[in-house]
Amino acid sequence: MIQLNPDCLIFQTSDGENIPCPAELVTIELIGDAANLLDPEIIRNASAAVLHYFRDELGKNFVTVAEFSLALERVLRSFGFEVKAAQEATPPPSQIEEADLSRIASESGRGCELFFFPHLRDEMRRCLSHSPELIRFKGLRGCVKHLTGQRRWSRRCQKLNDQIVDYLRTCLTAEKQSATCALVVL
């Protein structure tokens, strides 16, 4: 038996044909012309998330195109994009608050994690004061590089990256207004 490439799934078409194909390629085909309007990193992350879901969480190598497209639509909606689903369409969040982690890091100064985390908590509270359905923190990679003073990604960067995400989750769950709010960190 031939081993399947780690970024591929076997897609079952509506006429019963099985086609091994990279998840990212199918994602671009499903998105169509809108793929040119989206950041390539978002497309890669969305396809990787759907691939991980089917492969690692469900243990499936065979997926119908319809199953894949529904899962992809859910992922893109979670990123704040307006996607029309074939089934069970839900409207996108009516209110999205956005914060820039790179801005917060530069206001805190280079290497000043001590000042960064309190600023981050204040920003979370500011966003929650508007009772949003979604809070999107963007610029995580640049923020981490700024705080660590690194030009290239390192283990120290990854450790701080994970600390920031954990801290944001902790802050969100600690606030009483967060009961219906989702958090996205890009």
Domain assignments of the chain as residue spans, ordered by start: 8-78, 96-185
pLDDT of residue 3: 56
Q: Higher pLDDT residue, 139 or 85?
A: 139
What percent helix, strand, coil does the chain show, rounded to 5? 55, 15, 30
Does residue 5 register a pLDDT over 50? yes
Q: How confident is the model at residue 80 (pLDDT cuts 50, 70, 90)?
A: confident
Length of the chain: 186
Give me 134's structure tokens.
């979604």
Count of Cβ atoms closer than 10 Å to residue 31 Cβ: 20
Structure confidence by residue, pLDDT tens digits, 41-77? 877 788 888 888 888 878 787 788 778 888 888 887 7
Does residue 177 register a pLDDT over 70? no
Radius of gyration of the chain (CA): 19
Instruction: Report the C-alpha gap between 68 and 3 in whole angstroms.
Output: 21
Structure confidence by residue, pLDDT tens digits, 87-145? 433 434 458 889 999 999 988 876 677 889 999 999 999 998 888 888 999 999 999 99
pLDDT of residue 165: 92
Average pLDDT on 21-33 reads 72
